Structure 1
Amino acid sequence: MPIDDVPLSRRGLLRGLLAGAGAAGLAGCSTPVGAGLANTALDPGTVEFWDLFGGGDGVRMQQMVANYRAANPGTPVQAVTLTWGNPYYTKVSLATVGDKPPNVAVSHLTRMKTLQQAGLLQELRPADLARHGMAAEMFNRRAWEAGLIDGRAYAIPLDTHPIVLFYNTDICGEAGLLDDAGALKPLRGPDALTDAFAKAQQVTGQYGATHGINADPATCWRLFHTLYGQLGGEVLADDGTRVVLDDAKATQVLDYLRTLTVERRLLPGAIDYQGAIALFAAGGSGFHINGEWEISTFQTAKMPFGMALVPNVFGGDYVVHADSHTLVLPRRDDQSREQLDLSLGFVRSLLDQSMTWAEGGHVPTWLPIADSAAYRELTPQSNYAPAADAAVYDPPAWYTGSGSNFENVMGSAVGAVEGGQLTPQAAIAQMRSQLSALAALPSPV
């Protein structure tokens, strides 16, 4: 169904822009050649695929696309990689509003629902999926259900990507933190984690752990969300129209984080994303908290490391912040069944290559791979596989999701506490004020 009677009306254009922007400012980026970008017609026998992957993810996705080409020599594939974040979502939105979208695109699960609410995604009907051997029960239940809208599917989850606890095995071994098999001993409760960081600091002579703080609101939010979620805390309700931040629970988390940085100085309170990675890689800390996607960085550094779940610090139901990369089919008003099947066949090919994707750290959601012996033997990646069942995503709202203003608001306040610039009480007041302003705005879609 068209968004408006005229596909590229002023209103449709605005909706597409806002859906792509996710409530954050639009940014310029390069313009690779693609049908939607160059305003040219796409050969109906071609699969055009857009993604936003760089680094190790980008290399692995290129390999997976190349494998599809080799297995399907009669089907051309036009693969386009765009700038991560709002530039990417804006271009997907504009191409779809202009009726020249790619056949298949990547979307974070936390951004996909806004695209669907703007009328930019095709529904993935069970009968169409079944023709390609796909069904709901073949995916991780948490990731699949988190992506449903009114019980209908609009996205295929490719992975779950949680934050994890990296640890230097040499440092942790010297600190007495490893078991007989060389794995990190269980850490349960705030004191256990604090003590582990302190023991690692005694070995390094610098810090016990690191994570990005300066100009890195996303990492600060992910860590806060994990600990706050373990207390059962919620931030938003009613699709983001109400702020339900629990002051007592938020204070408990922020007090703990401030103790680690300001009071105990077990973590540096003034360090950016790359600095935190570099300090850990150089042996300046025993632990590092980040997304599992940084596995390639530490493998390249040839340092001794392991990976584990972020501990259950506060003892409630275990949760850990995560998002999922999903594969979506942008809406095409004139698509034939043959073109639909080409797109779904491409999606199935990527799912079947989930082991390649898992090597880069992401937890596969495609159960034929996730439940396989080969994946269980893939370490340290499979060590934190239970995170997929414990994933907690950004709360639903038109202004939330990966790279959104919501994450900037929350993470900036958390980082200011860790850096000693704000008290927990002042940070919570700042969160509530800024979130209330966003919650009061009507959804643009």
Structure 2
Amino acid sequence: MRETRREFLAAAAGAALVLAGCGGSSRSDGAQVTLDFWNGFTGGDGPQMLALVQAVEKEHPEIRVRMVTARWEDFYTKLPAAVASGEGPDVALMHVDQIPTNAAHRTIMPLDDLVRDLDLQEDDFAAPVWRAGAVDGRRYGVPLDMHPIGLYANQQVLSEAGLDPESLPTTRDEYESALEELKGKGVQGHWVTPFFFTGGHQFMSLLWQFGGDLTDPEATRATWNSDAGVEALEWMRSLIAKGYSPRNVGQDADSIAFKNGQNAFIWNGAWAIGDYGSTEGLEWTLAPLPKIGSVAAAWSNSHNFTVMRQPTPDPQRLEAVKVLIDGVTRSPAWAEAGQIPARRSARESEAFRKLEAQSALARQVPDLRFAAAAPGLSDVRESTLDIAVAQAINGSRPVREALDDSARRANELLALNREKYGT
């Protein structure tokens, strides 16, 4: 028996359910429209999104929005079943790497007509994230933000080691030189973790920096075991071998050490801005990743607006969805939650420029990279590449062997996915 919306709301209550409904959208016919809007913002970003929704309602007083939040892992489990049973929301935010799978399951609908009606095009957004929201030539997502990784620096640790905390390294030579100086002062400057947060993000960034990619363009074959992939993972291993990082770094131990002044640098995501900003006594700054390879590149993900398939589409509700998407993506206020606005007008606003950390991270927007748009690819990566990165960093397997074996298994899974999803 499929779960009803009421049952979903009850389940989500234990995972920080938020309801908003105090206004709506101005329509020429004066009709009241109520939208159901789901997302996974259960932390400090939830109130910020709620405020954006309420701002849209205030400007358009005939739209009412019921916003429901649940942990992302619960969200992705509940959403397809709810849509299949006709109990899904009108609109939802999801990570761009989840869009291909949800498009293949027909959970979400193409938005080509919607973006045309809103007169949205690539030039209105950061090009990398706009392209990431398309699957097989059709658009399924309207990007709200980007949350890449960047170089965080503990300014006090750098100062005590005699390094300039206002001039962060931008090249491989500068970065390794800084790590060597820190080591000379008894500081292991860059802790390498085998976990996806943050080791996996670092590996993918370095893979792209060394000229490689996760897959071929059609995502039919894993290519992370290329020479570029080997070089990237070997460089991460070298930080441990040279004593710049301890061995066997635990989950989140690198971030805890950063906040405690035990290391100087961490390659972490935009989501850390709020955490570090609220850590008492921590003096830190943020910059684009140093260019370790031949090209500048950084891993990123993105929250995209998506529209759910409905048993009986309602044109009035769809018009209200357009109002919500347009209003929220235009606002620079979402950046206060630590995100980088995807929409150019928001990113170039004076309000955004005042956010120093976010603005620093946004300097690498042209260099952001996203995985290929293929159904099930994130699941394949999780069960193959993530394991290989952990094995190599922990030293339980040689780098090339780990990458080769993971790519071989990934290719088998990708072939199964093509049969499963008919791609």
TM over 0.5: yes
Q: Distance in 2 between matches of 1:391 and 1:228?
A: 13
Match 1:50 to one of 16, 38, 47: 38
Task: Find the counterpart in structure 1 of residue 213 from structure 2.
Answer: 234
1:65 equivalent in alignment to 2:50? no
What amino acid sits opposite 1:413 in the alignment? A
Q: 2-side partners of 1:310 and 1:400: how far apart?
A: 25
Q: How far apart, in 1, do the equivalents of 2:325 and 2:221 lie?
A: 37
Deviations 1:178-236 (A, max 9, x none): 3xxx52334212x3222222323444x342123543xx235322111111111211232
CA distance in 2, matches of 1:299, 1:362: 14
Q: Can you list the C-alpha shifts for 1:380-430, whole angstroms capped at 9, x where unaligned?
A: 2111213322111123332223xx341342122212222222221332233
Which residues of structure 2 form unaligned runs of 5+? 3-7, 18-30
Partners of 2:243 and 2:234 lie apart in 1 by 14
Q: Distance in 1 between matches of 2:225 and 2:394?
A: 22
SS in 1 for 2:363: helix
Match of 1:32 among 1, 5, 12: 12
1:237 and 1:141 map into 2 onto residues whose CA distance is: 20
In structure 1, which of residues 375, 383, 394 is the aligned counterpart of residue 352 of structure 2?
A: 375
- SS across alignment from 1:60: helix
Match of 1:411 among 354, 377, 386: 386
Tell me what 1:222 maps to: 201
TM-score (norm: length of structure 1): 0.82
Corresponding residue for residue 413 of structure 2: 438
Superposition misfits of 4+ residues, deviation over 6 angstroms: none
Equivalent residue number for residue 77 of structure 2: 90
Amino acid at match of 1:210: W
Which amino acid in the other structure matches residue 207 of structure 1? Q
2:368 to 360, 381, 391: 391
Within the candidate set 170, 188, 204, 1:207 is matched to 188
Report the 3-state secondary structure (helix = DSSP H, G, I; strand = E; otherwise coil) of the residue aligned with 1:441.
helix
Find the partner of 1:171 among 153, 157, 161. Answer: 157
User: What's the CA shift string for 1:87-136, capped at 9, x where partnerless?
Assistant: 3223211112122221110111111122112222222235x446556444
Q: Shift of the alpha carbon at 1:284?
A: 0.5
Distance 1:271 1:142 in 2: 32
Which residue does 2:342 correspond to in 1? 365
Partner residue, 2:286: 307
Change (3 A) 1:399 1:58: same
- Structure 2 vs 1, CA of residues 44 and 374 (structure 1 numbering), >3 Å: closer, same or farther? closer
The match for 1:335 is: 313
1:307 and 1:243 mapped to 2: Cα distance?
Answer: 32
Q: Which AA in structure 2 matches 1:199?
A: E
Is 2:271 the partner of 1:290?
no
Q: Identity, % of aligned pairs?
A: 24
Greater shift in the superposed pair: 414-423 or 96-105: 414-423
Q: Which residue of 1 aligns with 2:247?
A: 269
Partner of 1:80: 68
SS for the counterpart of 2:395 is coil
Indicate how the Cα distance of structure 1 residues 437 and 125 shifts in structure 2: closer, same or farther if over 3 A, else same. Answer: closer
Residue type at the aligned position of 1:365: A
User: Matches of 2:328 and 2:181 in 1, distance apart?
Assistant: 43
CA RMSD of aligned residues (A): 2.7
Q: 1:352 & 1:211 partners in 2: Cα distance?
A: 37
- Contact 1:68–1:346 (CA<8 Å) still a contact in 2? yes
Specify the SS of the correspondent of 1:200.
helix
Against the structure 1 CA distance between its residues 160 and 211, is the aligned structure 2 distance closer, same or farther, given a 3 Å change threshold?
farther
Report the Cα offset of residue 72 of structure 1: 4.2
Structure 2 partner of 1:99? 86
Take 2:386 and 2:380, find their aligned partners in 1: how far apart are those partners? 10
How big is the shift at 1:242?
A: 2.0
Q: 1:32 to 1:69 in 2, by over 3 A?
A: farther
- Residue number in structure 1 paired with 2:166: 183
Q: Which residue of 2 aligns with 1:243?
A: 222
What does residue 4 of structure 1 align with?
none
SS at match of 2:12: coil
CA distance 1:55–1:420, change in 2 (3 Å): same
Kept in 1, the 8 Å contact 2:273–2:357? The answer is: no
* Per-residue deviation, 1:276: 1.7
What is the alpha-carbon distance in structure 2 between the residues aligned to residue 336 and residue 399 of structure 1?
Answer: 30
Match of 1:323 among 293, 301, 306: 301
1:156 corresponding residue in structure 2: 142
Q: How many residues align?
A: 398
What stretches of structure 1 of length at least 5 have no aligned partner? 1-7, 14-27, 38-42
Residues 3-37 of structure 1 deviation map (CA, whole Å, 9 limit, x = unaligned): xxxxx9xxxx9xxxxxxxxxxxxxx997237xxx9
SS at match of 2:384: helix
For the 8 Å contact 2:12–2:70, the answer to whether it is kept is yes
Letter in 2 for 1:31: A
- Identify the residue that residue 16 of structure 1 maps to in structure 2: none
Amino acid at match of 2:176: T
Counterparts of 1:295 and 1:436, CA distance in 2:
36
**Would the alpha carbon gap of residues 412 and 194 (structure 1) be closer, same or farther in structure 2, given more than 3 Å must change?**
farther
2:380 and 2:318 map into 1 onto residues whose CA distance is 34
Match of 1:124 in 2: 111
2:134 and 2:373 in contact (8 A); partners too = no
1:259 aligns with 2:238: yes
For 1:96, give the aligned amino acid: V
Question: Residue 278 of structure 1 corresponds to which residue in structure 2?
Answer: 256
- Structure 1 position 64, deviation (Å): 2.2
Aligned equivalents of 1:69, 1:200: Cα separation in 2: 52
Whole-angstrom distance in 1 between the partners of 2:350 and 2:9: 42
Counterpart in the other structure of 1:144: 130
1:165 Cα deviation (Å)? Answer: 1.0
The equivalent position to 1:428 in structure 2, one of 390, 403, 414, is 403
